[in-house]
Structure 1
């Protein structure tokens, strides 16, 4: 990291020169220290490129020039890093420096920029969309995305109940897990308490990748893309083992929770109930539900934001007619409650009419 530090400190000094020229009446050393200290701290304390990226992201909220300096450090330390020059381009565009923005956007493209859908909607580049460089980079990124997304978007992960839990005479029930924005449907041993209910847990990656191959979201407009992904995932699972199609339950968190609730409301013949944890998202919540005779459990945190609080209210109202609805508010915010390893399985057992 020594070479990295020398290069990046020089870059930071160059970027921060305007601060030194802006106020001659102030002590130049003090101004330099104030401008450079967050950058120097990031460079000295980061162990690797991922940590540099994390520190740069945090600096974006306070000073874009400082963030640019650290992103440049990460970019130079790892010549294969795509996101670092992309973020530099976005920050320069945000500052109105079109020339440097396009330069680093092209550098990201030269390194294999692939997250075309994200680039297409990135408002930082709104003033550059008619330039030849932006159009060329976007076209290349969209083509790369098509190839990289294959086998990742909509991919499933399966967690089976322990062998000691006897299977019912019919096939096992299934809980379909819809993840939140920016994560994925990969299941691991930490999710085992959910499968201890006797249900097969089916995780599904979202319908679009973001800027990493393990980061997904559920895209609109509407919820039909998610419905297709869930049904495809169930078909793939059904080809592997026997499942009870009349006992398919939805469980989601945040954006995945909103989509889970919408699927139950709009496609009630496909699902038996839903556990909605901290519903959130930017799409409008459905105002009409076809669901009748279903069980719905809604959980949210007392410290959730106003939008998430309202979405919880909206879903409770949406399913209030003709369904059995429960709700719980825990003391935390937009995350799992501390007792989720017991409370979530209990909620699932209630959905399946098999309370412990």
Structure 2
């Protein structure tokens, strides 16, 4: 990546150029170092183009020009990169003065096989370009590719049974359906084993729409019916493999997945027996009415979460507070699992499934 140093540094210098024309060399160096330092450090320490993109993502909110320099470097370093030229186009379009250059990089992303059509269709950065023939052509190509890429990935399931020796009550085991947060996926691994060892088959499901990488998904609206269908389809696929107790289906979610899990229990209580809601979050409104009665619900959130997440946690506590058994916990952290989750979450699941927990 050394060949890209000059380009990236020159781009970063643009942010302070107007104030430097009359400065001495020492003053220029002192003034530009804070601007150049993050870009230089990223170029020196990044493992590859993908790492550069991650570092650019992290700095985009604080300094768009620094991020632009890294996206450009990643785009030139790896011609297979899709997100790098896409992000360059988005940042240039956001400025409002570089529309032709933005379309150039958007077409470059298209030539490389841009496939995240849903993300492009709603990206506010391209609002002023949305009606141009060039944008519409790229969008059509991306939406076509998305249908091909998403097939077999959206709604795909991951299954984790209890460890040998863990006995589940009943002829067929209950199921805990795991709904992931925004931007991740439903893949389960050995770190999730304590959840399955609460005495249920753990079922992870990929969200209802891919975002911008093969392993990032979200649960889309409007409403929550699409998520309900995805969960039921996942349960049908699991039932085709093994016996499960459809009367004992429990929901567990984090962040956006937690909001959707709570909404599914409120709106479809005939299909779900209870829910563990961890740090609910999301852009949709929390349901204001619940059909759930005689259900067990656990709501967990961090004390240091943002105001919207704190409000949503309280909304769900109130929503299920009438006619259900609700347990609540606020831990000392933020929008994350509590440190003791490998112990406390299995306890919560055992309580949901009728134990003392």
**Partners of 1:219 and 1:353 in 2: how far apart?**
32
Q: SS at 2:245's partner residue?
A: strand
**Partners of 1:235 and 1:69 in 2: how far apart?**
48
1:209 aligns with 2:210: yes
**Partners of 1:162 and 1:299 in 2: how far apart?**
26
User: 2:287 matched to which residue of 1?
Assistant: 286
Q: SS at 2:167's partner residue?
A: coil
- The within-5 A match list for 1:68-83 is 68-83=68-83
**Partners of 1:308 and 1:264 in 2: how far apart?**
19
User: 1:148 matched to which residue of 2?
Assistant: 149
Q: SS at 1:249's partner residue?
A: strand
* Structure 2 segments unaligned to the other structure (5+ residues): none
Q: SS at 1:172's partner residue?
A: coil
Whether contact under 8 Å (1:9, 1:40) holds in the other structure is no
**Partners of 2:127 and 2:14 in 1: how far apart?**
28
1:27 aligns with 2:24: yes
Whether contact under 8 Å (1:89, 1:102) holds in the other structure is yes
- The within-5 A match list for 1:232-251 is 232-251=233-252
User: 1:313 matched to which residue of 2?
Assistant: 314
Q: 1:296 to 1:36 in 2, by over 3 A?
A: same
Q: 1:114 to 1:8 in 2, by over 3 A?
A: farther
Whether contact under 8 Å (2:168, 2:200) holds in the other structure is no
Q: SS at 2:250's partner residue?
A: strand
User: 1:104 matched to which residue of 2?
Assistant: 105
Q: How many residues align?
A: 353
1:48 aligns with 2:48: yes
**Partners of 1:93 and 1:169 in 2: how far apart?**
58
Structure 1 residue 25: deviation in Å? 2.4
Structure 1 residue 229: deviation in Å? 0.1
User: 1:174 matched to which residue of 2?
Assistant: 175
User: 2:226 matched to which residue of 1?
Assistant: 225
Deviates more, 1:9-18 or 1:306-315: 9-18
Whether contact under 8 Å (1:272, 1:295) holds in the other structure is yes
* Structure 1 segments unaligned to the other structure (5+ residues): none
**Partners of 1:14 and 1:159 in 2: how far apart?**
49
Structure 1 residue 14: deviation in Å? 4.9
**Partners of 1:140 and 1:85 in 2: how far apart?**
16
Q: SS at 2:154's partner residue?
A: coil
User: 1:134 matched to which residue of 2?
Assistant: 135
**Partners of 2:18 and 2:277 in 1: how far apart?**
55
Whether contact under 8 Å (1:13, 1:36) holds in the other structure is no
Whether contact under 8 Å (2:15, 2:65) holds in the other structure is no
Deviates more, 1:163-172 or 1:83-92: 163-172
Q: SS at 1:152's partner residue?
A: coil
Whether contact under 8 Å (1:8, 1:72) holds in the other structure is no
**Partners of 1:325 and 1:61 in 2: how far apart?**
38
**Partners of 2:179 and 2:219 in 1: how far apart?**
9
Structure 1 outlier segments of 4+, above 4 Å:
none
Q: SS at 1:243's partner residue?
A: coil
**Partners of 1:275 and 1:233 in 2: how far apart?**
19
**Partners of 1:316 and 1:282 in 2: how far apart?**
18
Cα RMSD after superposing both structures: 1.4
Structure 1 residue 22: deviation in Å? 4.1
**Partners of 2:135 and 2:330 in 1: how far apart?**
46
Map Cα deviations across residues 115-138 of structure 1 (whole Å, 9 max, x no partner): 000011111111110111111111
Q: 1:265 to 1:24 in 2, by over 3 A?
A: same
Q: SS at 1:326's partner residue?
A: strand
Q: Please, what TM-score do these two structures have when normalized by structure 2? A: 0.96
**Partners of 2:204 and 2:324 in 1: how far apart?**
26
Structure 1 residue 11: deviation in Å? 4.5
**Partners of 1:352 and 1:58 in 2: how far apart?**
40
**Partners of 1:15 and 1:328 in 2: how far apart?**
46
User: 1:256 matched to which residue of 2?
Assistant: 257
1:5 aligns with 2:2: yes
Structure 1 residue 173: deviation in Å? 0.5
Map Cα deviations across residues 28-87 of structure 1 (whole Å, 9 max, x no partner): 542444443322221112121222112212232232222111111111111000000000
